[in-house]
Every structure is written in C-alpha cells, then in structure tokens.
Amino acid sequence: MGLKAHFLNLMLSTINERYPNTSGLKILELGNQEVRPNQGFFEKTGKEFWTNRGFKHVSVDVNGLHGSLIKDLTEIEDFLEFKDEFDIVYNAGTTEHVEPYEDQYVCYQIIDMCCKPGGLMIHSVPEINNRDQRGMWRDHCHYYYSEEFFNTLAEQSDYDMLYLNVSPRIITSIMQKKETSSFMKDKEKFLSNIAIRNQDANFSGNSDYTHQNKQAVF
C-alpha cells in the first residue's frame, strides 16, 4: 500500500505516548515500504523516514531494495536472529500478500517473535467488509482481515489492544506485547478469521508480492 501521512502520524503519536525517548528505538518494517507522494514528507522510503527520526530501522523484503534485508516472511528460520529484538514491528499492507494461505499463520508468528515484550505491533491492511460491500481493494489480494481477526488474535495471544479502527478503506490495529503474551496456538481458528477472495486471480507477477517466493494454495 505504501506509507501515507495519517498512518505515519498515528504510529508516531502512539510511539511517543509510550516511549519518553524514541532515539535508538528499533523498528522492523515488513516489506520494502515507500512513502507515498504528496504526504508532506520529503523522505521517499520508510528507511529514510524512520532513520531521520533517530530510530534503528530494519526492513525485510526478498527484493533487497533500499537496504532491506533479504528474508522470506513464510520462513520463521529467517527471523530467529531477531527474537525479542524490536520495539516496534509494523505491517503496512504487506501480510495480505503472503502466500500460501497457511503461511499467514507463520507470518504473524514471525511478527510476535520479533517484537520484544512491551513492544508494539502495528497493522494497516485491507478490511473484508469494505471490500465486499464498498469494493475497496477489491482486486488487491487474496486475504482480507476484520475486527474479529484482530480481537481474536489479541485475546488468544494475551496482547493489549491499544487501537482498532475500521476506516472507509482499511483496518488498523495497534497491539502491545506483554511479558505474559504467547502467540495464538490455535492455527485453525487463526486462519478461519482471514477471508479469502480473488481465488482465480494470479498475483505472482505483481510487485507487491516480492517479499516472499511462494504461490497461492487455498
């Protein structure tokens, strides 16, 4: 999706509320994110945006562009070095492109593993009712999320839900991992709350899918 001002400002305000000193905080970006044009920022990439504000930024994408590390979001072994490493892990329109369907679970498990206790996990992704009822992001991906998905994930993993909002286009969630948190064990329940659409569409040639190498299997 790319980074827009409202999402960046929401992230900054939430982070500033919880960290009196943001300098040196570690932030993990899923996908090689670019800042959308005409957002009021001069930076072109997420790496530039966060580095210029004093964060220690890491992005992951198999394309390796703009200094991103080449890692596959369906391979938990790629991320073992990052266990409990990051103060913030964020997903700005990346996880909906992770294939196959069952590896949605692995991807969110990676997010949990990389986030340190007390850290924030921030998501901004396509929402299923907006897609089905209003046509938003209708042909964007195979996987769409809902309030039920994030509420269940937070409850089953013992996260604190700090923010959950469905806009006319997307759903945004901010959760805080606690010392007592443990990633949701029920894989089938996790997957059952992700809506599958566009099953006949082949997105393998779409540049949004460059952060991993696997094909859709429903």
Quick one: which of 73, 157, 150, 74 has its CA closest to 112?
157
pLDDT in tens, 143-201: 999 999 999 999 999 999 999 999 999 999 999 999 999 999 999 999 999 999 999 99
149's CB contacts (< 8 A; 6+ apart) are 193, 194
Residue bearing the bigger pLDDT, 46 or 205: 46
Residue 214 in any domain: the answer is: no
* Distances in whole angstroms, Cα of residue 68 to Cα of each of 6, 34, 95, 171, 180: 24, 12, 16, 25, 31
Cα separation, 62 vs 52, in Å, equals: 24
Stretch 189-214: mean pLDDT, rounded? 87
Residue 137 in any domain: the answer is: yes
Residue 33 in any domain: the answer is: yes
Judge whether residue 209 has pLDDT over 90.
Answer: no
Stretch 65-79: mean pLDDT, rounded? 95
Judge whether residue 211 has pLDDT over 70.
Answer: no
Backbone angles phi, psi at 4, to 5 degrees: -110, 160
Question: Residue 172 forms beta bridges with which residues?
Answer: 124, 165
DSSP secondary structure of 36-62: PTTSS----BHHHHHHTTT-EEEEE-T
- The total of structural domains in the chain comes to 1
Residue 127 in any domain: the answer is: yes
Say which CATH number the domain at 24 has: 3.40.50.150
pLDDT in tens, 83-113: 999 999 999 999 999 999 999 999 999 999 9
Helices (H), the chain: 5-18, 46-51, 103-114, 128-134, 147-157, 187-192
Residue 216 in any domain: the answer is: no
Judge whether residue 142 has pLDDT over 80.
Answer: yes
Residue 85 in any domain: the answer is: yes
State residue 208's pLDDT score. 74
Residue 45's domain comprises 5-209
Residue 217 in any domain: the answer is: no
Contact 54, 22 (CB under 8 A): yes
State residue 214's pLDDT score. 86
203's CB contacts (< 8 A; 6+ apart) are 97, 99, 141, 142, 209, 216
Judge whether residue 62 has pLDDT over 70.
Answer: yes
Residue 57 in any domain: the answer is: yes
